[in-house]
Amino acid sequence: MTWAWFFDIDGTLVEIAPSPDRIVVHRDMPPLIRNLHELTGGAVALITGRSIADVDLVLPLRKMAIAGQHGLEVRSADGTMSMHRVRSGNLSQVRLQLHDAVARHAGLMAEFKGLSIALHYRHAPQLAGYAHRLMRSLRSRYVPDFTIQKGKRVVELKPAGTDKGVAIEELMLDPPFAGRIPVFIGDDATDEHGFKVVNRMEGHSVKIGPGRTHARWRLRDVESLREWLKTGMDS
């Protein structure tokens, strides 16, 4: 295989769950990804908003290359760990403010990943406006070097200068990805950076589900991706 494969996790390899710690991994998906990893000589990576430590807890793919926290931290194919140097500002104050907001507003959930923070409102979509205003305010007051990242019923604060596209570009410089055609599969607004980079590299960008996108191809849902991968393994 001459392709290098990059996968988002939530909404792509697994269905979106009520909370990030409650995802259900279909029994077929890990062996499919492991087989692809073997067939490509290791040219498979997970590109996710989750931390690498969290991915290792929820997915049995420990030898896989991973870009976590939207590329803030990277585990390369040979297992080397690296992290972008960032100015974390007053993240402790952001955490305190979000703890208070979550306590006062049922349905909000804060996810603290290390150098990035997500505020989920999937259980309270009516609080979308409040959640986005709050995160913009916290960014302005405490972490002006950070940027706002929007997703499916989630808004995140993360250091500027890194995203899933940057992570793919960095991984493509090193073996076993270098020289291959990149394929990136994702489902969310956070994946659009990756789609643009892969398109620029004349690779294949695939969006899971509906919605406007820069991806050139589309699959209906997580199950469709699973069936597509099965077909490829059988051919």
Residues 179 and 80 in one domain: yes
Total domains present in the chain = 2
- β-sheet with 73-75: strand ranges across: 81-83, 73-75, 65-68, 44-47, 3-7, 181-186, 204-208, 217-219
Lookup: tokens for 210: 């509906």
Residues 184 and 155 in one domain: no
Distance of alpha carbon 89 from alpha carbon 107, whole angstroms: 27
Q: Give pLDDT, residue 113.
A: 87
pTM of the model: 0.88
Percent of the chain with pLDDT over 90: 83
Lookup: tokens for 180: 């291959």
Domain at 111, CATH number:
3.30.70.1020
Which residue range is the domain that position 108 belongs to? 91-159
| Active site positions, annotated | 8
Q: Give pLDDT, residue 233.
A: 64
Residues 30 and 144 in one domain: no
Ranges under pLDDT 50 in the chain: 235
Residues 137 and 102 in one domain: yes
Domain at 60, CATH number:
3.40.50.1000
